[in-house]
Amino acid sequence: MVTGVGGYLLWGRFGSRGGVSAEINLTDKMRSAAYAICSLSALAILSGVALLSTSHRKEVVIVRPKTTSIDNARSARVLTGAASASVAICVVAMGLDGILWRASYLGYEHGNQTFLRVSGITILAGAAAASSLTKFAAPRARLFGWLCFGAIVALLISQGSRRLALMPFLLLLGGVALGRSPSKRAISLSVALALYIVRWPLAFRALPQHGLIPHVQSIPALMFGEFPWAPILSNLLFGFPVAAYVAFVAPRLPLSAYWISVDPRTGEAAGFYKMYTTLQINTFTPYSALGQLANHGTLLLVGYSLLLGIVLTGCGRSLVGLSSGARGASPLRRLFLAASSAYIGLNFVQYTLRSTTRVVYLLIFVAVGSQVYKKRAEEPIKR
| pLDDT value at 37 more than 50 | yes
| pLDDT value at 138 more than 90 | no
pLDDT-derived band at 324, boundaries 50, 70, 90: very low
Residue 125's pLDDT is: 85
| pLDDT value at 311 more than 50 | yes
Q: Is pLDDT larger for residue 172 or for residue 99?
A: 99
User: Do 237 and 378 sit in the same domain of this protein?
Assistant: yes
175, 130 in Cβ contact below 8 A?
no
User: Do 253 and 346 sit in the same domain of this protein?
Assistant: yes
H-assigned helices in the chain: 2-14, 28-55, 69-94, 96-100, 113-133, 139-159, 167-177, 184-197, 199-204, 212-224, 229-236, 239-248, 255-261, 267-270, 272-275, 289-296, 298-320, 331-350, 353-382
User: Do 80 and 224 sit in the same domain of this protein?
Assistant: yes
Total domains present in the chain: 2
User: Do 204 and 146 sit in the same domain of this protein?
Assistant: yes
User: Do 79 and 218 sit in the same domain of this protein?
Assistant: yes
User: Do 200 and 310 sit in the same domain of this protein?
Assistant: no
115, 92 in Cβ contact below 8 A?
yes
Task: From 228, 262, 287, give the residue that closes a domain.
Answer: 228
- Give the best-scoring range by mean pLDDT among 116-120, 231-235, 344-348: 344-348
Residue 60's pLDDT is: 46
| pLDDT value at 356 more than 50 | yes
pLDDT by residue (tens digit) across 261-271? 999 998 889 99
232 vs 202: CA distance, rounded Å: 8
Q: Is pLDDT larger for residue 7 or for residue 15?
A: 7
User: Do 239 and 149 sit in the same domain of this protein?
Assistant: no
Overall residue count recorded for the chain in this entry: 383
pLDDT by residue (tens digit) across 43-54? 999 999 998 876
User: Do 128 and 221 sit in the same domain of this protein?
Assistant: yes
| pLDDT value at 328 more than 60 | no
| pLDDT value at 70 more than 80 | no
Residue 235's pLDDT is: 76
Residue 63's pLDDT is: 45
Least confident of 8-22, 167-181, 284-298: 8-22
User: Do 169 and 236 sit in the same domain of this protein?
Assistant: no
Could you count the other beta carbons within 10 Å of the beta carbon of residue 117?
11
Ramachandran angles phi, psi of 97, nearest 5°? -70, -35
User: Do 10 and 58 sit in the same domain of this protein?
Assistant: yes
Could you list the residue range(s) of the whole structural domain that residue 262 is in? 2-64+230-382
191 vs 222: CA distance, rounded Å: 19
127 vs 82: CA distance, rounded Å: 9
| pLDDT value at 295 more than 90 | yes
**pLDDT mean over 154-176:** 88
Residue 98's pLDDT is: 93
- Average pLDDT over the chain reads 84
* % the chain with pLDDT above 70: 85
Task: From 207, 228, 249, give the residue that closes a domain.
Answer: 228
pLDDT-derived band at 71, boundaries 50, 70, 90: low
User: Do 234 and 145 sit in the same domain of this protein?
Assistant: no
| pLDDT value at 58 more than 60 | no
User: Do 258 and 326 sit in the same domain of this protein?
Assistant: yes
Q: Decide: residue 252, CB within 10 A, 0-12 exposed, 13-18 middle, 19+ buried.
A: exposed
Residue 382's pLDDT is: 53
Task: From 189, 207, 228, give the residue that closes a domain.
Answer: 228
